[in-house]
Each structure stands twice: as C-alpha cells, then as structure tokens.
Amino acid sequence: MAYVISDDCISCGACEGDCPVEAISAGDGKYEIDAETCIDCGACAASCPVEAISPQ
C-alpha cells in the first residue's frame, strides 16, 4: 500500500529528496507519490513538516 500526499502539502519538496526510490515528484499544486514505485518505507512521511503524507 503506497503512501499518499494530501492537499495539506505546501510544496516544500522535503519529501522528494528523502525518497530512496525517487517515487515523489512535483505535481499540480502539490507533490505526488507514484504508487507503482513507492516501497512503503515511510521516509517521506517522517520528513514532511506539515504531516501531509500518510499510508493510503
């Protein structure tokens, strides 16, 4: 089950650099996680300053 980024995302990009499999990219107004690539490690959720990332 992949992690998802909610609309609370402030587009800071902190999560993108912490993803070990590069599953996160800038989207339209917020960052997005590619569910096919995500390995459910939680590194992105730990780095999000506004807690906008959670398991799906």
The contacts of residue 42 (CB under 8 Å, 6+ apart) are 3, 55
For residues 55 and 45, give the distance between their C-alpha atoms in angstroms, rounded to a whole number. 9
What is the C-alpha separation between 16 and 31, in angstroms, rounded? 8
What is the per-residue pLDDT for 48? 98
Question: What is the tens place of the pLDDT at every residue in 9-31?
Answer: 999 999 999 999 999 999 999 99
- Write down the pLDDT at residue 15: 97
Q: CATH number for the domain including 43? A: 3.30.70.20
% residues pLDDT > 90 (the chain) = 96
Q: Given 3-state DSSP classes, what are the helix, strand and coil percentages for the chain, each rounded to the nearest 5?
A: 20, 20, 60
- The model's pTM is 0.90
Under 8 Å CB-to-CB from 11, ≥6 apart: which residues? 26, 29, 30, 31
Domain count, the chain: 1
Instruction: Give the pLDDT confidence score for residue 1 in this predicted structure.
Output: 78
Q: What is the residue range of 23's domain?
A: 3-55
